[in-house]
Amino acid sequence: MNKTVFSPPAMVTIPVTGSDERFAVRRIFCAGKNYADHIREMGGIDTSRPPVIFAKPADALVSDGRDVPYPRASQDVHHEVELVLALGKPLRDASEEEAGKAVWGIATGVDLTRRDLQAQAKKHGGPWTSAKAFDHSAPIGPITPLDKPFADQGGRICLSVNGEVRQDGDLGQMLWPPRRLLVYLSTLFDMKTGDLVFTGTPAGVGPVQIGDRIQARIDGTEPLPFTITATG
Ligand code: MN
């Protein structure tokens, strides 16, 4: 193999509950507008359309209990707690059964969003990249491995800021439950082993400030605590 012109960056990996092994991350796909009460709080009314699909770079992940610096170039950064699916198999034009078998594990994640830049993008019909895919925009807890195929089911999904509950929903409220979402993604992309999928957020999103202590929890996963620190 030819030598590369500079050393390639290390693969991004995140911890696995109950193991010394780590999960190597390939890509991060995200679903927006997947809970009706969140669509309504953002001023939307149409809950019949497929979720909005966007992506974050793998190196936007923040794991291992690290702090999250408040991002540059925004004055309105919001928290969005989301169930994250970690794929252990590829998926292409998959069935729901195949999708359930491809979920290697699940985790709690937060889709940090520059809401001010997202509002500008929506106004001008531009992409969401600067609003969603910035550095440190994807805090994530350890991945809990599954011992059987993933089945869509309810469960509490919540987030508190400095001990005050801001988001408190149920996984069963998803308009496109995880397996159906994976089926949809597998019609758009060749989904690969190592891909993560953020599945959308329930109502209650709101701003974070420097110094805030965030605690995100989803039934069946490890809790995700992190602190917002000064802009790095
Ligand atoms: Mn989101």
Domains and CATH numbers, the chain: 13-229 (3.90.850.10)
Cα of 80 vs centre of ligand 1, distance in Å, is 5
**pLDDT tens digits for 185-223?**
999 999 999 999 999 999 999 999 999 999 999 999 999
Cα of 230 vs centre of ligand 1, distance in Å, is 23
Question: 91: which strand partners?
Answer: 191
pTM as predicted: 0.97
Cα of 95 vs centre of ligand 1, distance in Å, is 24
Cα of 213 vs centre of ligand 1, distance in Å, is 19
d(CA 203, CA 48): 17
Query: Per 3-state DSSP, what percentage of the chain is helix, strand, and coil (rounded to 5)?
Result: 20, 35, 45
Residues less than 5 Å from ion ligand 1, measured at CB: 80, 111, 201
Q: Poorest-confidence range of 43-47, 91-95, 175-179? A: 43-47
**pLDDT tens digits for 160-182?**
999 999 999 999 999 999 999 99
Cα of 19 vs centre of ligand 1, distance in Å, is 28
